[in-house]
């Protein structure tokens, strides 16, 4: 019965469990692979500029293969700015227009903004198609460097 349900679900919804998406139903997560440690430079090479290389992004230091989201993150797409880097700050501040928010520097963010980052992190972790590949070695933040100022035209995400 379970097998039949899985087959019917796959034929109709192209997912194994009737559209319920979770990392547990993503077969790619069951391929044994060594968790890789990326340098920021290596991550940057996976920003979609080379169509034959996987498209990666990072959040809070974790690296995800988001190749199946090429329409979101590929060159020319709305969220290309997240590709090939750890832009955790922008995930928290909703600031898509300023390059100084495309950073893993989360100093000075509010509880709500930090919770926003955690929410996106969970999103990538639980996504049915995206796969966590490893981590990125992030350059340490210089405590003396100025904190990026708040973003005036942060776009609230639709609910
Ligand atoms: C005016 C504000 C915004 C609108 C109308 C909007 C709309 C959308 C829509 C329609 C999608 C596609 C959803 C789907 O097909 O499942 C999407 C995806 C996405 N949005 Fe936004 N968005 C907005 C702001 C933002 C902001 C501020 C962020 C960053 C924090 C953001 C991050 C994302 C990401 C990362 C995805 C891709 C999710 C994935 O990989 O599956 N959006 N957005």
Domain ranges of the chain: 1-30, 33-137
Rounded to the nearest whole angstrom, what is the distance from the C-alpha of residue 66 to the centroid of ligand 1? Answer: 14
Residue 130: Cβ-neighbour burial (10 angstroms; 0-12, 13-18, 19+): buried
Q: How confident is the model at residue 158 (pLDDT cuts 50, 70, 90)?
A: low
Quick one: pLDDT at residue 2?
A: 45
Residues 6 or more apart from 75 whose CB is under 8 A from it?
47, 48, 49
Strands 56-59 and 131-137: unpaired
In this prediction, residue 32 carries a pLDDT of 75
Cβ neighbour number for residue 64 with a 10 Å cutoff = 23
| 3-state class (DSSP) for residue 124 | helix
Is 33-137 in CATH node 1.10.600.10? no
Residue 109: which pLDDT band, with cuts at 50, 70 and 90? Answer: very high
Q: Residue 150 C-alpha to ligand 1 middle, in angstroms?
A: 20
Tell me the C-alpha distance between 67 and 56, whole Å: 7
Overall average pLDDT of the 71-92 stretch: 98
CA 70 to chain centre: 12
What pLDDT score was predicted for residue 46?
98
Mutate which of 79, 85, 87, 116 to test ligand 1's pocket (most atoms within 8 Å of Cβ)? 79
């Amino acid at each position: 019965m379970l097998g039949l349900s899985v087959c019917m679900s796959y034929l109709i919804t192209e997912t194994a469990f009737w559209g319920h998406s979770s990392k547990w139903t993503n077969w790619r997560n069951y391929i044994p692979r060594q968790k890789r440690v990326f340098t920021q430079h290596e991550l940057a090479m996976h920003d979609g500029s080379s169509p034959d290389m996987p498209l990666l992004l990072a959040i809070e230091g974790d690296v995800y293969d988001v190749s199946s989201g090429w329409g979101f993150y590929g060159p020319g797409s709305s969220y290309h700015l997240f590709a090939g880097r750890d832009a955790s700050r922008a995930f928290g501040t909703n600031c898509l227009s300023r390059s100084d928010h495309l950073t893993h520097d989360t100093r000075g963010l509010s509880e709500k903004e930090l919770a926003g980052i955690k929410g996106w992190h969970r999103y990538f972790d639980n996504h049915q198609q995206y796969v966590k590949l490893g981590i990125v070695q992030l350059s340490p933040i210089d405590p003396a460097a100025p904190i990026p100022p708040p973003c005036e035209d942060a776009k609230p995400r639709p609910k």
